Each structure stands twice: as structure tokens, then as C-alpha cells.
Amino acid sequence: AQSVTQPDIHITVSEGASLELRCNYSYGATPYLFWYVQSPGQGLQLLLKYFSGDTLVQGIKGFEAEFKRSQSSFNLRKPSVHWSDAAEYFCAVGARGFQKLVFGTGTRLLVSP
């Protein structure tokens, strides 16, 4: 069965510190992986995606993620967090050709001064 696990429900990071959000997936075919961000009461915005090629992908707002097939992981990173990064982050997996995405339960990021 397809599934995505985000083990951290909440994470608090000091402003300026580095960030890593964890994502593990289970998928039978070649996975297409996504990170989305959601501000309260809003829709989802795509941060970055991985389809193939270089396993380190760059996204918007200074985020990057690394695909590790051997660990079935797609962790999101940012070297220096800004207060405006406080939001909920969702990892998702799908297949090319049809975007029936399976989402993780999300990680809420809190940024402390």
C-alpha cells in the first residue's frame, strides 16, 4: 500500500537555525515526491518536487530536499529559518501520468525568536 510518514507532528526551531523535516514513503512504483506548505486557512503551495535525475532538488523560499531511495526518504531542509516559514508542511507521493497524491499527516513548524 502507498503511504507517507511524517514522524514529527510539531517542530520548533529558532529563527536563523537550520531545519530538517523528515518524510518516509512506501510506494510500489517509481515515486514522484513533493513537498507542499500550507499557511493557516489557506491552500497548499508547492515547495519542490522530485521526478528523476539529481537526487538533491532545490525549491522555492530557499528549501531543498534530498531523495534517498535506499532509505525511502525525501527529507526537506533549509539552512536558515525565517519567522515567515512558520506553517504546516506536507510530504506527498504519486505516480507520473496521474497525480493521485498520497499525503503524510503533516509537520507543523513553529519558529521562535
Partner 1 sequence: DGGITQSPKYLFRKEGQNVTLSCEQNLNHDAMYWYRQDPGQGLRLIYYSQIVNDFQKGDIAEGYSVSREKKESFPLTVTSAQKNPTAFYLCASSNPQGANTEAFFGQGTRLTVV
Residue 34 or 85 with smaller CB distance to partner 1: 34
Which spans of this chain sit near partner 1 (rule: CB under 8 A)? 4, 9, 32, 34, 36, 41-46, 49, 51, 90, 92, 94, 96-101, 103-106
Nearest distance in Å: CB 100, partner 1: 6
Nearest distance in Å: CB 98, partner 1: 5
Residue 38 or 75 with smaller CB distance to partner 1: 38
CB burial string 67-77: b at 16+ within 10 A, e below: beeeebbbbbe
101 vs 9: CA distance, rounded Å: 20
Residue 32 or 67 with smaller CB distance to partner 1: 32
Q: Which three cell numbers stand for residue 76?
A: 526537506
Q: Is the dihedral of CA 46, 54, 66, 86 positive or negative?
A: negative
